[in-house]
A and B are shown apart, each in its own frame.
Chain A
Amino acid sequence: MSVAAAHSGGIADHIHPEPQGFVRRYVFSIDHKIIGIQYLITGFVFMMLAGLLAETIRTQLLNASGGFVSPDTYNEVYSVHGSAMVWLVIIPIATGGFGNLVFPLMIGARDVAFPWLNMLSFWIFPVSGLMLFSSFLMGAPAAGWTEYPPVSLQGAPGTTMWCAAIFLVGVSSTLTGINFLVTILKMRAPGMTFTRMPLFVWGQFATAPLLMIATTALAAALAALFMERVFGVPFYDPTKGGSPVLWQHMFWFYSHPAVYIMILPLFGIISEVLPTFSRKPIFGYKLIAFSSMAIALLGFMVWAHHMFTSGLAPFLQVLFMVMTFTIAVPTGVKIFSWIATLWGGKIHYSTAMLFALGFLALFTFGGITGVFLAAVPTDLDLHGTYFVVGHFHYVLVGGSLMGVFAGMYYWFAKMSGRLLNETLGKVHFWLFFVGFNMTFLPMHWLGFMGMPRWVATYDPQFQFWNRFESVGSYIMTLGILCFFINVIYSIRAGKKAGPNPWNARTLEWQIPSPPNYYNFKHIPTVYGLPYDFSQPLPYTGLEDELTDSPPAQLTGAHH
């Protein structure tokens, strides 16, 4: 892509007509920024619902004998909680939400490659979410978010709805993956080589193939479960020759990469927030970018570490164990690089930065406990216990969700033109951080001492720590309430942000907040990495961005 290409009437020069009317502007919009916000709003609404389910779980577990809801309802509640948090909250927010909102701006594009497809991807998502939650009306899925057959074959009719809902949201993910991949490959601004891409773009670039490939494998598994439940086609039922372990292979072939779908974009957010608020280049840019790709690739080769107790052939146990260990290396390298980024900085304690630092601390903890589960000897003890529940909540809440909040406090200014309230933000952070650790840290020893996961009642000896966890979860919920209040308050009355409140250097901050529907008046040319704080910005062609003049294409001055 040469500089000249930008001046020849190609995509870079082409501005879609301005959308007219409320519906085209905000409902069936093809503008990636609006779609990103739609994803975020929908994702957070589903987060509230799934959060209510989480509090139902914790309230039930206040007493060893349960009693808040019936065992059947309890099983439905945590199954939908898990499914919703994975497929309707973290994945859509991390990819469809922040991905859409930010990365086309970061690479200097006017939109994603296929805006209409993008709109379709989005609209599939709330529909499938409603389908999933509506399964409560007919008996929700109750075999956990993994829905292992044969017990899921016995499940209530809602399990079939679950299959359909997750299949659909998977279609949405796949289309998003294709869209993002083409956009990053083909629509970068002149001069934005791969080694000049911001790390958030690298995060999305590593995630997109996972969305595209892994999700399709899950679609096959779900389709087979659907056919078996509806038409009785025997894939998984052992009494008809099927194999329940087949589901586990197909499910985890998706669901392990899904872990990286849920974390790589957030790695990207952390890699943007840390340099901006440390006023320092990201340390080891190339290694961070490369390790994202390595993690994405390795993520496809480790799925059976979820199946060490499922009668896996011995040599496969060793193979998958060793493959899983190798992921610790690129992940560790990232964490060291982020910490080194802090060294010698001028650190501003903004809320976004606090969340990024919280991410580092909590994600690392989840990574270390992950080694216990990757090693077969300890996994044979800890698999299927609360240790696992603690581990993945450290990764997915302490990691992913912390990253989501970091991203929200960072980019809210860009999407709304106003800043989120910092004081309320810090209250949010500390309530969330303290509540989180209270909730999930004791799970590790509860699991070790013999508390299995997915139980509506438990041994009374565990009651104290379970109550402690429940109190923690209520504190965490208060924190999240602060966030929602903050968003609602700040949209109306927040401090005006201006184009670049954080003095950040990536492209999206060089244009007005919120950006115009065409993003850039003139596509800039890129001359270097965005992280060099001692240098002038490495872009040209941005001179008009903050003036009132419309782009040349719209005044007819072009050609």
Chain B
Amino acid sequence: MAIAAIPHDAHGEVDQLYVETRELRLQGFLLFLISDCVLFSSFIFAYLYLRNTGQGWPPPGIARLDVAFAAWNSVVLFGSGATMHYALENWKHGNFMKYMWMLIATIILGAMFLGGQGYEYHHLIFDEKVTWAGSGIFGASFFTLTGMHGFHVFMGVCYLTVLLLQTAAGTYTYQKYFGITAGTLYWHFVDVIWVVLFSIFYLL
């Protein structure tokens, strides 16, 4: 993790306490993401296991998922990953307004992804009659995994909104901005998980 500037305290000395605390937080946050990743992996294992015990996939009576729509929705999410990346880069370079716009774009794209997912759920549940509890292992694994991911995106959107308000209120400085770093890491993590979920549900 590149660190743009060395934080100083009020007396102009290096703020060693902050530097060390930030290192701890960064490491703790990465470990949290690893264990979150294990949570997803376990459900993915469950999905693949169930998929291989049944007779073919999708199970009889259930149509294949609509790849095209999900692909467009994925593009939206990956786009938000890019905007979040630029948001952090701009913050590191002190471009406040560009950072704000990028962050807002990220939040909007994230919300659009959620909307897209809502639309897809609506279509599945009401048009295809595929439900969480009523459609066997297909409904169980699909809605659980994508729902979990959607919940992560939702939490991310909430967090980024808080971040937006915090930056507007001046919580972060160009030296001390761990909240923004953490938000970016989290957002990229959610993106990566989606790559896996998209591959195993829509492409496999």
Contacts and interface: CB of A to CB of B under 8 A. Distances in A.
Interface of A: 5, 8-11, 13-14, 113-114, 117, 174, 177-179, 181-182, 185-187, 212-213, 215-217, 219-221, 224, 227, 231-235, 240-243, 246, 249-250, 253
B132 A233 contact: yes
Given A181-B31, A216-B42, A235-B140, A186 B132 contact: no
Interface in B34-75: 34-36, 38-39, 41-43, 45-46, 49-50, 53-54, 59
Given A182-B27, A224-B144, A246-B50, A10 B17 contact: yes
Contacts of A185: 27
Contact of A113 (B28, B35, B54, B132): B28
Contact of B144 (A221, A227, A249): A227
A146 to B, nearest CB: 17
B49 A220 contact: no
Contact of A240 (B16, B49, B136): B136
B28 A114 contact: yes
B158 interface: no
A221 B38 CA distance: 12
A240 B34 CA distance: 32
Contacts, number: 113
Secondary structure of the A side of the interface?
A: helix
Nearest to B44: A220
B200 interface: no
Nearest to B141: A235
Given A213-B34, A231-B133, A220 B50 contact: no
Contacts of A5: 16
Interface residues of B, number: 37
A221 B136 contact: no
Contacts of B50: 235, 241-243, 246
A121 to B, nearest CB: 12
21 contacts: A9-B16, A9-B17, A11-B20, A13-B17, A114-B28, A117-B28, A177-B31, A217-B38, A219-B39, A224-B46, A224-B144, A231-B133, A234-B133, A234-B137, A234-B140, A235-B141, A243-B53, A246-B49, A246-B53, A250-B46, A253-B42
B187 to A, nearest CB: 20
A466 to B, nearest CB: 39
A186 B24 contact: yes
A39 B17 CA distance: 29
A167 to B, nearest CB: 11
A243 B133 CA distance: 15
Top-3 shortest CB links A-B = A220-B42, A10-B16, A241-B136
Contacts of B43: 220, 224
A251 B46 CA distance: 11
A253 B59 CA distance: 27
A221 B42 contact: yes
Given A219-B39, A221-B42, A235-B50, A212 B132 contact: no
A174 B42 CA distance: 15
Given A11-B17, A182-B27, A234-B136, A212 B53 contact: no
B96 interface: no
A10 B17 CA distance: 4
A178 B133 contact: no
Contacts of B31: 177-178, 181-182, 212
Nearest to B13: A9
Contact of A10 (B20, B35, B54): B20
A250 B19 contact: no
Contacts of B136: 234, 240-242
B137 A250 contact: no
B157 to A, nearest CB: 22
B32 interface: yes
A159 to B, nearest CB: 18
A548 B133 CA distance: 66
Contacts of A8: 14, 16
Contacts of A10: 16-17, 19-20
A178 B49 contact: no
Nearest to B29: A178
Contacts of A250: 42, 45-46
A220 B39 contact: yes
B21 interface: yes
Contacts of A253: 42
Given A179-B28, A216-B39, 4 more contacts: A9-B17, A177-B35, A220-B46, A233-B139
A174 B143 CA distance: 25
B40 to A, nearest CB: 8
Contacts of A113: 24, 27-28
Contacts of B19: 10
B46 A235 contact: yes
B128 interface: no
Contact of B46 (A9, A177, A182, A246): A246
A231 to B, nearest CB: 5
Nearest to A179: B28
A11 B21 CA distance: 7
Contacts of B42: 216-217, 219-221, 250, 253
B89 interface: no
Given A174-B35, A213-B34, A232 B28 contact: no
Contacts of A182: 24, 27-28, 31
Contacts of A177: 31, 35
Contacts of A246: 46, 49-50, 53
A14 B17 contact: yes
A14 B140 CA distance: 50
A178 B46 contact: no
Interface string B136-178: 1101110110000000000000000000000000000000000
Given A217-B42, A235-B46, A178 B132 contact: no
A174 B59 CA distance: 36
Nearest to A218: B42
A233 B38 contact: no
Interface string B110-128: 0000000000000000000
A186 B34 contact: no
Contacts of A240: 136-137
A173 B143 CA distance: 27
Contacts of B41: 217
A186 B38 CA distance: 23
Contacts of A212: 31, 34-35, 38
Nearest to B134: A232
B28 A235 contact: no
A163 to B, nearest CB: 15
B61 to A, nearest CB: 11
A114 B28 CA distance: 9
A242 B137 contact: yes
A224 to B, nearest CB: 6
Residue from A114, A117, A219, A233 whose CB has the most chain B CB atoms within 10 Å:
A233
